[in-house]
Structure 1
Amino acid sequence: MATLTVPPSVPSPAEDAEQLQKAFAGWGTNEDLIISILAHRNAVQRKLIRQTYAETYGEDLLKALDKELSSDFERSVLLWTLDAAERDAFLTNEATKKLTSSNWVLMEIACTRSSMELFMARQAYHARYKKCLEEDIAYHTTGDFRKLLVPLASTFRYEGPEVNMALARSEAKILHEKIHEQAYNHDELIRIVTTRSKAQLNATLNHYNNEFGNAINKDLKADPNDEFLKLLRSAIKCLTCPEKHFEKVLRLAINKLGTDEWALTRVVTTRAEVDMQRIKEQYHKRNSVPLDRAIANDTSGDYKEMLLALVGHEGA
């Protein structure tokens, strides 16, 4: 599903590491060279480049990049160079900090990663921060947000396609009852959303739609300004149709009032090797403009070039 463009013949990690070292040498940094290498290597190749760079030059590549680069371009390169689990651990930790706290980022990571990816993110969190990811989420959230986010982050969902239709019917009924009673934080509602496999949840929500005549997210819009309901709707969207969630994040990030670079960088670096093609199709359909053109119009310089390379812009 990825649209990342990797050249047909890739230089060895040693050659790439040497070229990156050259990009840092001398008076100025060669940003174009950094983009031409890192933005066109897949996760396995980037990991090997980092290992080789550390062995050859005695320095972590991330530290070297941190010294040489700045602002949004630096953030996009650093996030991209981390492996997926480290990146998720970093973003989760940042989302629990006072100045950068975000329930949205916590929910997005918990709902759009596979069980194994989430497990690896928890391990990476442990290794890097010497703390437990769920513990930090619990400590930095409150009330209904905590009640939803902690089980989302700690679950290990079944990943297979098997679906129990009788269960889908009974749980659709439970969801409808609780929503009708406006008991949005009810234990049963939270349990269904946070523990059922994505296939089972899809079956339940399809039944909900057919049986009760409304999509669940429509019924959860009773109070459009309720922040918990917004998060719950987005969690359901992330679990069942992630490209629609990411399209919306991108649409809101690229707007006429100014760009939300953090959101733009997060989506591009975390989804480039996952479902960027689907996100691009969804974006084009929803906004009648290709995503790469929207990004090009809204960003500039090295940051723009990096993002365009990651979304698979033909000319990158």
Structure 2
Amino acid sequence: MATLRVPASVPPADEDCGQLRKAFAGWGTNEALIIQILAHRNAAQRKLIREVYAATYGDDLLKDLDAELSSDFQRAVLLWTLDPAERDALLAYEATKRLTASNWVIMEIACTRSSQDLFKARQAYHARYKRSIEEDVAYHTAGDFRKLLVPLVTAFRYEGDDVNMTLAKSEAKLLHEKISEKAYNNDEIIRILTTRSKAQLNVTLNQYNNEFGNAINKNLKDDPKDEYLKLLRATIKCLTSPERYFEKVLRLAINRVGTDEWALTRVVTTRAEVDLQHVKEEYHKRNSVPLDRAIAGDTSGDYEKMLLALTGHGDL
């Protein structure tokens, strides 16, 4: 469920472009006008605005936004204005860079996008960086992390609801055996997590829980400080209940000394058109505070207004 609020009647793209151009003119930038337009247009509408802007003014809207805005607000607007596949490609690219490296972001993109969306992100990566996402992930990771992440980013899972109960029972048993042996990087564990459909995995993990009396992630807490085990647990959470995974990312981003704006921006911009409503419900349930109130208490200015608009609380 998306949170994005789009007006009942959206002006033609050339009108939006004229308004954006006006927002950039003169001495100061009209940030409120930028939010009013871009934060209330869906992906197809934003794409059209970029195309019409380029055709009309001969300029790249993203470059103009980059030049006019700054700080966390700039990043939120730029990420939001990108096509979802381009956005994922950029986030994945940053996640393989030394200063912003994050195995978690790579895993998150690989596990919470549909097969089609992940495929489009790989194509966008290829087009923009003239390399494959797989080779960059393989080059910038090592050991167990590489063993898990490369097949995750190359996955093209079946998306339907059909499941095989016999298979679920045998693979639940296999997972339990390997975890009991503490063989956490075993090929079979990685094969099951990186190839099975999400519906099949849910059935397998329910079977695991019922038969062995423990959720699989409880059995993967052998060493709470083990970074690979943390990533493995997060992978399972992303594949089976993404709203719970994203709630935790937001909670950790907000409830810390100094906000983690990168994580906050990433979750809001990537989930606003997907399942942010579910994430908000999960957040409220877990923290007894609505997400918009938590964001408002932790951010300020145009950045706060942009995030609130994307979470469905800004003025239309």
TM over 0.5: yes
Is this contact kept in 1: 2:107–2:152, CA < 8 A?
A: yes
Residues 1:84 and 2:84 are matched in the alignment: yes
Quote the offset at 1:3 in angstroms.
Answer: 1.1
The residue number in structure 2 matching 1:117 is: 117
Aligned in 2, Cα 1:170/1:226: closer, same or farther, shift over 3 Å? same
The residue number in structure 2 matching 1:74 is: 74
Structure 1 CA distance, aligned partners of 2:110 and 2:260?
21
The residue number in structure 2 matching 1:28 is: 28
Structure 1 CA distance, aligned partners of 2:150 and 2:282?
30
Quote the offset at 1:9 in angstroms.
Answer: 1.0
The residue number in structure 2 matching 1:142 is: 142
Aligned in 2, Cα 1:35/1:314: closer, same or farther, shift over 3 Å? closer
Aligned residues: CA RMSD: 0.7
Structure 2 CA distance, aligned partners of 1:222 and 1:99?
30
Alignment of 1:285-304 (within 5 A): 285-304=285-304
What letter corresponds to residue 59 of structure 1 in structure 2? D
Residues 1:237 and 2:237 are matched in the alignment: yes
Structure 2 CA distance, aligned partners of 1:109 and 1:256?
24
Q: Deviations over 1:46-102 (max 9, x none)?
A: 000000000001011000000000010000000000010000000000000010000
Residues 1:278 and 2:272 are matched in the alignment: no
SS of the residue corresponding to residue 2 of structure 2 reads coil
The residue number in structure 1 matching 2:219 is: 219
The residue number in structure 2 matching 1:181 is: 181
Shift >3 Å, 4+ stretches: none
Structure 2 CA distance, aligned partners of 1:186 and 1:6?
47
Alignment of 1:133-212 (within 5 A): 133-212=133-212
Quote the offset at 1:315 in angstroms.
Answer: 4.8
Quote the offset at 1:258 in angstroms.
Answer: 1.2
Structure 2 CA distance, aligned partners of 1:139 and 1:186?
21
The residue number in structure 2 matching 1:97 is: 97
Quote the offset at 1:179 in angstroms.
Answer: 0.5
Equivalences, count: 316
Structure 2 CA distance, aligned partners of 1:115 and 1:315?
34
What letter corresponds to residue 307 of structure 2 in structure 1? L
Structure 1 CA distance, aligned partners of 2:258 and 2:315?
25
Alignment of 1:49-68 (within 5 A): 49-68=49-68
Residue identity over aligned pairs, in percent, reads 78
What letter corresponds to residue 131 of structure 2 in structure 1? K
Structure 2 CA distance, aligned partners of 1:45 and 1:315?
19
What letter corresponds to residue 90 of structure 2 in structure 1? F
What letter corresponds to residue 218 of structure 2 in structure 1? K
What letter corresponds to residue 110 of structure 1 in structure 2? A
Q: Deviations over 1:211-257 (max 9, x none)?
A: 00000001001111100000000000000000000000000000141
TM-score by length of 2: 0.99
What letter corresponds to residue 99 of structure 1 in structure 2? L
Structure 1 CA distance, aligned partners of 2:179 and 2:312?
41
Structure 1 CA distance, aligned partners of 2:7 and 2:161?
35
What letter corresponds to residue 53 of structure 2 in structure 1? Y
Structure 2 CA distance, aligned partners of 1:256 and 1:92?
24
SS of the residue corresponding to residue 286 of structure 2 reads helix
Structure 1 CA distance, aligned partners of 2:279 and 2:65?
29
TM-score by length of 1: 0.99
SS of the residue corresponding to residue 8 of structure 1 reads coil
The residue number in structure 1 matching 2:312 is: 312
Structure 1 CA distance, aligned partners of 2:210 and 2:258?
40
Structure 2 CA distance, aligned partners of 1:216 and 1:167?
17
Q: Deviations over 1:3-31 (max 9, x none)?
A: 11101111100000000000001111000
Structure 1 CA distance, aligned partners of 2:315 and 2:28?
25
SS of the residue corresponding to residue 259 of structure 1 reads coil
Structure 2 CA distance, aligned partners of 1:132 and 1:257?
37
What letter corresponds to residue 93 of structure 1 in structure 2? Y
Structure 1 CA distance, aligned partners of 2:314 and 2:70?
26
Q: Deviations over 1:119-143 (max 9, x none)?
A: 0000000100000110100000000
